[in-house]
């Protein structure tokens, strides 16, 4: 016979306890019915039998409590072992919060390009909250900036494997893609500064929806942010990838 699992033994204890309680109630009921027709000695014996069921149940309940306690200790041990295998981090790391520091305006309300299109038509501007205006000091000296934003219109569940729409069904890991459906819905785009007026930054084309919350702005710095030996990764493995890159970049072409 195979050993019983703790949860199976727990159910067995519960069954025995309930079963004994039924016997106890049944004896009590019959004693009440027949006590006038039996001797006092028999009544005492039956009453003692009722008490024996009570005492047996106390032992079962004690065993059940100990089993549950052991189960809890084993569970705590497993949790602690699992936690100990995870690299220790600062307790404050799980308390971080982001806040909106501005809003991004684009012509897009239903569809947006996959990547920023430099010469895209329309009004593209970033409106910074007034309390951060001083943070724009000297930003106009840069030609390009990183725009970091919250992808607020994503409703799909995150998946580890994704298929970018322009790959014809090819599947890659989400971290090997530019998919907007990510564990943390944070987007980043590189755009050209056209002009800055007060708390407004007018830019080249942006690949986000209108009213997208702004999280941060950083300057794009030559050499630091442009790597000459960068490659196309798995994109180069796709047949006709050069033509595909024209679509990705939004560059007009005749073929």
As a whole number of angstroms, the distance between CA 66 and CA 72 comes to 10
Q: Which residues contact 130 (CB under 8 A, 6 or more apart)?
A: 199
Q: Which residues contact 206 (CB under 8 A, 6 or more apart)?
A: 104, 106, 116, 120, 124, 147, 189, 191
Strand, helix or coil at 248?
helix
Strands 102-105 and 212-219: antiparallel
Note the pLDDT tens digit of each residue in 149-205: 999 888 778 889 988 777 777 888 999 888 888 889 999 999 999 999 999 999 998
Strand, helix or coil at 4?
coil
Please compute the mean of the pLDDT values over residues 30-57 and round it to a whole number.
Answer: 81
Segments making up each domain of the chain, as ranges: 6-83, 102-221
Under CATH, to which class is 102-221 assigned? mainly beta
Note the pLDDT tens digit of each residue in 89-131: 555 556 778 899 999 999 888 877 766 676 777 889 999 999 9
pTM: 0.58
Q: Between 24 and 249, whose confidence is greater?
A: 24
Please compute the mean of the pLDDT values over residues 20-44 and round it to a whole number.
Answer: 81
**Predicted local distance difference test score (pLDDT) of residue 162:** 86
Note the pLDDT tens digit of each residue in 212-253: 999 999 999 998 998 888 888 887 887 777 766 766 655 554
Res. 77: pLDDT tops 90 = no
As a whole number of angstroms, the distance between CA 155 and CA 181 comes to 8
């Amino acid at each position: 016979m195979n050993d019983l699992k703790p949860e199976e033994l727990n159910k067995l204890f519960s069954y025995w306890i309930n079963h004994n309680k039924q016997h106890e109630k049944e004896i009590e009921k019959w004693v009440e019915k027949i006590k006038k027709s039996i001797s006092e000695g028999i009544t005492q014996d039956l009453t003692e039998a009722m008490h024996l069921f009570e005492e047996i149940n106390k032992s079962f309940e004690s065993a059940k409590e100990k089993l549950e306690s052991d189960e809890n200790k084993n569970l705590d041990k497993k949790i602690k072992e699992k936690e100990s295998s995870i690299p220790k981090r600062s307790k404050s790391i799980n308390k971080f919060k982001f806040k909106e520091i501005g809003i991004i305006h684009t012509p897009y309300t239903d569809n947006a390009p996959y990547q920023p299109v430099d010469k895209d038509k329309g009004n593209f501007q970033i409106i910074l909250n007034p309390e951060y205006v001083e943070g724009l000091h000297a930003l106009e000296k840069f030609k390009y900036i990183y725009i970091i934003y919250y992808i607020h219109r994503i409703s799909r569940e995150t998946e580890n494997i994704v298929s970018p729409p322009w790959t014809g069904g090819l599947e890659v890991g989400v971290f090997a893609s530019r998919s907007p459906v990510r564990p943390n819905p944070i987007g980043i785009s590189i755009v050209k500064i056209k002009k800055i007026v007060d708390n407004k930054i007018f830019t080249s084309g942006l690949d986000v929806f209108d009213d997208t919350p702004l999280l941060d702005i950083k300057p794009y710095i030559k050499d630091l942010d442009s790597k000459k030996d960068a490659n196309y990764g798995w994109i180069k493995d796709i047949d006709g990838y050069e033509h595909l890159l024209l679509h990705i970049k939004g560059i007009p072409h005749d073929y």
